[in-house]
Structure 1
């Protein structure tokens, strides 16, 4: 049975309008036209509408709902239909900025950048006033305009361009640089030249972003009240694996009173509510806080890309606001999405929450949430600076030679198989992957290593065992690693023995040559222990040293 309590009743119409914080300012009259969002029961098409029921504005496939303009009588009739689950008034939303860069240093993206983390491969939608299409410091992949009667997604306010720059300004020696400059940015113009808009047009922008398979949506905008369609849309985003970041709101009163918590949509559980701090890491005077605040980010004196609304001239500007804080958080999420591609939305939120720099009272609080957002340090939880293998692993990760595991570890002490060694060697040498039919009966053609094994065999870097197999999953020994490296990098002959336990074997010359080249080393007792398995950290260091040697 349908829940009649979820539908708007005429008797509550005026009260609901008041509760929506000025969402509709006209008196409710038979002649006036109102923007509403109509949700339909499951199994009923969201495109359901008939002549005379009002003007259709948007269709939301993921909600099974439509946005329409209707008069009072049409609303009453719509409520009576058995197909209708709920009807809500559309709300006005507005940007969360105040006119008026240190922020990049505060969130520390440079550490992530040293690991090559720049947001590459991550799609971000900025739903705002649009973005300047021809700003020399921005690279926008595309956009859409969801405002009724309007076309083109160019920014006629400046706010959206500023938000976009915090996220995505290019490292081109001009202006500024964004937190995630290599992310793919999409502009959704859903707010007008005054920075205002309708919630229904925001929802339309979110649905468009779904179709673009975005990973992150930035909402630097606010409204005073909750609504069913927006809440459901944002829950749908979470289900789809899309992270949504929203500004907590600047402290302006709603219906003459200040809210006890952050504004909407930041208050929804499915959204990362973001407040602002100043350059002394104090809560910005204008920033809304509360129990729903998740994190904070720089929000005062933020220097970013801008377009002058009157002249259309591109440039840069300092702005204040929780609107400016939100894209810092979206950018940090983009770096985390790149670093941990297998993480769920919940795991990414936990990662950002756990890494936040605690401010104020210990633990989560109403002023700072979990703290000041921080960029990831590196993609591996078990590779710490100061370890002997840190720099080799970092260099090889940046080069695309090594990867980790789905749980964001590298497992430096873990043993490594013969097929993994060949794969890493192939990436290091940029070998062209050959026919996946390797000729070895124990190497499947659909194996990730097959192409590299074929290429390495062709180059003479590797061979199999006397029985014709390759034993791809067998852990490689220190002796066999030396042979592969010597064949691949062609170290000069050593002319002498460096270790007491490698004489007279097939790997002797290779080990000594690699030792002379400074690629391999032994143990304090003078041995090399060629039969011992190789760890992932040892291979990383050996590959790194081999590359360094070959580049001299």
Structure 2
């Protein structure tokens, strides 16, 4: 029996599920709760605030020297006491930061994806974004004088397109999680970002990065485990680690919807030290602002597709400063981190995409028409639920199938195309996949037939991702490339030149969708060569 498989993907417009606690909401939480907060101390009052935290029943989990603050976990009842202390500058929530990219399907380029899924295929691909940002028009031979810090989920040192940088001794790092090591990646996002920046070229396999020569020095600050989420204090700790490691550029394909006073202080300190910080603008597809990209000290990067149009998910606001390729970007990932969807009915296989958040596993049973999945149905017990999209969330549909005794779930689209769904934060125990509207029409006629549904590890080591997370490393990589030719230029001047030389895409001058336009490596180089730094 043949079972067709498709890689898991999120829809283009992704919504961040962020915990955003204000100080007032912290105070309103149950007294038995434990809160994560940032406590900033007034000049010279660090010792006093340490004592105040202890007296409030709290524990300092991280020191944030650049913000004159501590990251603290303490009972909710203790927050008011800290707020009232004369030695405390402010208390704020330790808000969440998440990765801002996810896997996607690219049917028109499926042959290309297949060609690079196996590194022994003998093919090397130059992803479209490399030429789009003019990186192929400049040699990266001088980039050994630059160090770029990637704050993300780690770096797969064993990947054939990333190992070359590692074995040359050009990659260092620090692990700020309890997951693996800095040179491993349990999420895949960090390795994808690293590949766009510096995947090795000329080895006859896989892809090439903006800087393919293996000269650029990388420092990896691992802040995300498999969940792709961390508190802002961890990111602040990583930023400090990047600076201590001598980074010239910090690349952050991450963000969240809530600003932080402490975080702003940290990025202001980096600006004053001559470090260029670059972050993803966000994937909500609206005019809201994500942080740290929203701070004026940070370059905010929007995403474009291969036609230089704004990606539908890319946030648009006055903070967007520059743009880069961010749709269906092909890059490096560790094997068996992402998931494949499996679906077969009556001996025939059908394309299926694993629901993001689905547990791995397979189930075989009779196919049962579960309708829209709006109510529990005892008839689904011991069967695979066939569910139509619409009216309620995918998570509710799958949860009701499970509650009814179903052993697996297939959700088919109610509009043209494959269904790429997510369960969000809902935890289920049965495998669930999405499939197309056309497949759904066929499957409704096969109710009662034997069906197999599964979610299994994907051995692929290259994949397409969407996100402003993917646009950000294009810009960061170009910044390192251009700066390597003119190391005497300041971070501020490099930032000015990248903006001044960007390809105009929207309204004349800066606009909310593209900022100053598409980053251009060769044009930035030419501008500095002709007019000098910062002109």
Query: What TM-score range do you get, normalising by the shorter chain?
Result: 0.5 to 0.7
Alignment check: 8 A CA contact 1:21 1:225 kept: no
Task: Write 1 or 2 for the structure with the bigger share of strand.
Answer: 2
Aligned length: 364
Task: Please point out which of 216, 222, 236 is paired with 2:255.
Answer: 222
Which runs of 5 or more structure 2 residues have no equivalent in the other structure?
1-17, 105-126, 339-456
Task: Please point out which of 268, 276, 298 is paired with 1:235.
Answer: 268
Alignment check: 8 A CA contact 1:60 1:66 kept: yes
> In 2, Cα distance between the equivalents of 1:21 and 1:339?
45
> In 2, Cα distance between the equivalents of 1:317 and 1:265?
27
* 1:248, distance to aligned residue in structure 2 (A): 0.6
Task: Please point out which of 294, 298, 320 is paired with 2:325.
Answer: 298
Task: Please point out which of 66, 75, 80 is paired with 2:79.
Answer: 75
- Indicate the RMSD between aligned Cα atoms, in angstroms: 2.8
Aligned: 1:104 with 2:250: no
* 1:312, distance to aligned residue in structure 2 (A): 9.0
Distance 1:219 1:249, change over 3 A: same
* 1:98, distance to aligned residue in structure 2 (A): 2.7
More relative contact order in 1 or in 2 (CA 8 Å, sep 6+)? 2
> In 1, Cα distance between the equivalents of 2:221 and 2:534?
33
After TM superposition, the structure 1 = structure 2 runs for residues 97-496 of structure 1, keeping only pairs within 5 Å, are 97-100=101-104, 101-113=127-139, 116-117=140-141, 119-138=143-162, 139-140=165-166, 141-147=171-177, 149-150=178-179, 152-153=181-182, 154-171=184-201, 172-181=203-212, 182-251=215-284, 258=286, 260-307=287-334, 308-309=336-337, 315-377=461-523, 407=533
* 1:119, distance to aligned residue in structure 2 (A): 2.4
1:33 counterpart residue number: 34
Q: Deviations over 1:374-417 (max 9, x none)?
A: 11358565868xxxxxxxxxxxxxxxxxxxx98599xxxxxxxx
> In 1, Cα distance between the equivalents of 2:48 and 2:131?
49
Alignment check: 8 A CA contact 2:179 2:186 kept: no
Distance 1:105 1:18, change over 3 A: closer
Alignment check: 8 A CA contact 2:150 2:194 kept: yes
Which runs of 5 or more structure 1 residues have no equivalent in the other structure?
1-16, 253-257, 385-404, 410-552
> In 2, Cα distance between the equivalents of 1:408 and 1:359?
22
* 1:146, distance to aligned residue in structure 2 (A): 1.6
Distance 1:294 1:83, change over 3 A: same
Alignment check: 8 A CA contact 1:261 1:267 kept: no
Q: Deviations over 1:56-89 (max 9, x none)?
A: 2111122221101011222122222222111111
> In 2, Cα distance between the equivalents of 1:224 and 1:293?
15
Distance 1:63 1:129, change over 3 A: same
> In 2, Cα distance between the equivalents of 1:151 and 1:189?
10
TM-score (norm 2): 0.63
Name the SS for the 2:247 alignment partner: coil
> In 2, Cα distance between the equivalents of 1:23 and 1:103?
45
* 1:97, distance to aligned residue in structure 2 (A): 1.1
1:62 counterpart residue number: 66
Aligned: 1:92 with 2:92: no
* 1:173, distance to aligned residue in structure 2 (A): 2.7
Alignment check: 8 A CA contact 1:248 1:288 kept: yes
Name the SS for the 2:327 alignment partner: coil
Name the SS for the 2:89 alignment partner: strand
> In 2, Cα distance between the equivalents of 1:80 and 1:213?
38
* 1:352, distance to aligned residue in structure 2 (A): 0.1
> In 1, Cα distance between the equivalents of 2:297 and 2:524?
26
* 1:158, distance to aligned residue in structure 2 (A): 0.5
Name the SS for the 1:333 alignment partner: helix
> In 2, Cα distance between the equivalents of 1:25 and 1:313?
43
Distance 1:301 1:211, change over 3 A: same
Alignment check: 8 A CA contact 1:335 1:376 kept: no
> In 2, Cα distance between the equivalents of 1:96 and 1:407?
32
Alignment check: 8 A CA contact 1:125 1:188 kept: yes
- Higher Cα Rg, which structure: 1
* 1:133, distance to aligned residue in structure 2 (A): 2.3
Q: Deviations over 1:30-75 (max 9, x none)?
A: 1100001111111233795134441221111222211010112221
Name the SS for the 2:295 alignment partner: coil
Name the SS for the 2:522 alignment partner: coil
> In 1, Cα distance between the equivalents of 2:47 and 2:333?
39
> In 1, Cα distance between the equivalents of 2:23 and 2:49?
29
Distance 1:223 1:24, change over 3 A: farther
* 1:366, distance to aligned residue in structure 2 (A): 1.1
> In 1, Cα distance between the equivalents of 2:80 and 2:34?
13
Distance 1:312 1:48, change over 3 A: farther
1:44 counterpart residue number: 45
Alignment check: 8 A CA contact 1:20 1:224 kept: no
Distance 1:118 1:98, change over 3 A: farther
> In 1, Cα distance between the equivalents of 2:99 and 2:73?
24
> In 2, Cα distance between the equivalents of 1:46 and 1:345?
35
